[in-house]
Chains A and B, each alone.
Chain A
Amino acid sequence: MASLGELERAVMDLLWAGQEAATANTLRDRLASAGSGHEGKELAVTTVLTVLSRLEKKGLVERERGTRPHRYQAVSSREEHTAELMHEVLGSAPDREAVLARFIGSVSEGEAETLRKLLGHL
């Protein structure tokens, strides 16, 4: 049985790849046909629903309320999430600097120019 973390990732990959919202059943079928790591054991729809509700709690997935069964879709695209992540990394507010340690902090254009010249000499 794949771990919940791996399933979350697999579900997000499906939602990011698909254009439209999908039900838990559809997602389960697609996961099963992709052979998503569950050896010999059928992936239960309830497991997929658990994964979806975890993702919903994390703000990554949203549910269409009106219909039954519920249809799920990704809140933002993969690229938007990557951009959000990188914004956090490249931003330079002092309170953010304590969250992670970057190899190079933000650099001014003048300094980058100096370093580029230096690179030419190396």
Chain B
Amino acid sequence: MFWASYLLAVLAVVLAWPVPILLSRAQWPARSPFTAMLLWQAIALAGGLSMIGAMLVYGLEPIGDNLIAGLRALAGMVLFNAPTTALGFWHIFALSAAALLTAHLVFTLLLTYYKIERQRRRHRELLALLASPSGQDAATLVISHDSPVAYCLPGGSRSVTVLSDGLMAALEPAELRAVLIHENAHLSQRHHLLLWAFAAWRQALPWLPTTRLAQESVNSLIEMLADDVALKTESKATLIKAIAIVASGSAPAGSTGLQPATSSLVLSGLDNGTGGAGSDSARTTASRVSRLLSPQPQLPAALRNLVLAGCILLLALPTALLVVPGLLG
């Protein structure tokens, strides 16, 4: 099973660097955002699996012909003090690294979940005191603020969409509907779970360029997916207008209707993100608008199926590399 660890390592490196860079530069994800989203998830999962798997398989090589036998022998050493002489320094190093990486990924996922939930709870508490019902439905709130803002706060049955006074004043009813449909699409398609997973991945391995590229792409793809839902009932012109009005109104030196305090807040928000997330979301808005202005046909079904097959292969390959050597031996 020695060769399996090398193949897994190669797969891990390929998925950690060249593949995400190519995918983040590709043009086709804007044409079929859902397919691209699946591919990003497959890359992330397969990348993590092959990273951990490569170290695990390498470390277990001297003590077992396959993964199960190796893990069983390892459990014997850890739990029952069986002799560890079969393992060299590098084997123990690889096994420890695999264990640490797994624990790190799981803990970061949980920690990120906890942090996000805490922020959302605090946000909901303040909204309960500050926002008023919109009159449209119970899950839509209005907050008294001059800049045009719309967002949704996920939380199962307590999910809410929040609009600002400024937004309601700036948009026509049809544009407002488009914004609401867009935000509700985020909630009903459970985009917060994707945001959570990819935020945690970036948090866990911030030095890996992939994690940033993946998070940026996923952020941008969910906006496109939500735009597509809005386009089912509202016209393209309406949606573009809504985006342009909100975007130009929320720009730092933009609309003159902003109070000084507000615009300085917006500015400080942007400053935090210079070179980082701020530019990410700016690119997102640009790509959303250009996608709406010059629509490209959806990816042909054959190509989409090819990508889907690629996703399955990506997940099957590391799994097979982990399991098959045992079957052969």
Contacts and interface: CB of A to CB of B under 8 A. Distances in A.
Interface of A: 5, 8-9, 12, 58, 60, 78, 81-109, 111-116, 118-119, 122
Interface stretch (B35-43, B83-91, B178-186, B315-323): B178-186
B231 to A, nearest CB: 15
Interface string B112-146: 10011001100101111110000000000001110
Given A8-B128, A98-B112, 14 more contacts: A5-B128, A86-B262, A87-B269, A90-B149, A93-B273, A103-B151, A105-B219, A105-B278, A106-B270, A108-B282, A112-B247, A112-B252, A114-B286, A115-B289
B110 interface: no
Contact of A101 (B186, B248, B254, B262): B186
27 contacts: A83-B265, A85-B123, A87-B265, A89-B151, A90-B250, A90-B265, A91-B268, A92-B276, A93-B272, A93-B273, A94-B277, A95-B203, A100-B153, A101-B183, A102-B151, A103-B182, A103-B243, A104-B250, A105-B280, A105-B284, A106-B269, A109-B251, A109-B252, A111-B251, A115-B247, A115-B248, A122-B240
Contacts of B112: 95, 98
Interface residues of B, number: 75
A109 B249 CA distance: 10
Contacts of B202: 94
A25 to B, nearest CB: 22
A98 to B, nearest CB: 4
A81 B281 CA distance: 25
B100 interface: no
Contacts of B125: 58
A106 B186 contact: no
A94 B276 contact: yes
B68 interface: no
Interface in B141-189: 143-145, 147, 149-154, 162, 164, 179, 182-183, 186
A111 B285 contact: yes
B241 interface: yes
B109 to A, nearest CB: 12
| B contacts with A: majority SS | helix
Nearest to A8: B129
Given A8-B128, A87-B269, A106-B270, A101 B247 contact: no
A111 B286 CA distance: 7
Nearest to B222: A101
B208 to A, nearest CB: 14
A88 to B, nearest CB: 6
Contact of B152 (A83, A86, A98, A101): A101
Nearest to B202: A94
A122 B237 contact: yes
Given A9-B128, A82-B144, A98-B112, A107 B251 contact: yes
Interface string B211-253: 0000100010010001000000000010011111111101111
Contact of B281 (A89, A106, A109, A112): A106
Nearest to B113: A98
A102 B250 CA distance: 12
A66 B245 CA distance: 52
B71 interface: no
A97 B244 contact: no
A1 to B, nearest CB: 18
Contacts of B150: 102-104
A118 B289 contact: yes
A107 B199 contact: no
B191 interface: yes
4 smallest CB-CB distances across A and B, nearest first, come from A105-B281, A112-B251, A92-B273, A98-B199
Contact of A9 (B129, B144, B269, B285): B129
B327 interface: no
B195 A97 contact: yes
B192 interface: yes
Contacts of B152: 100-101
Contacts of B204: none
A57 to B, nearest CB: 10
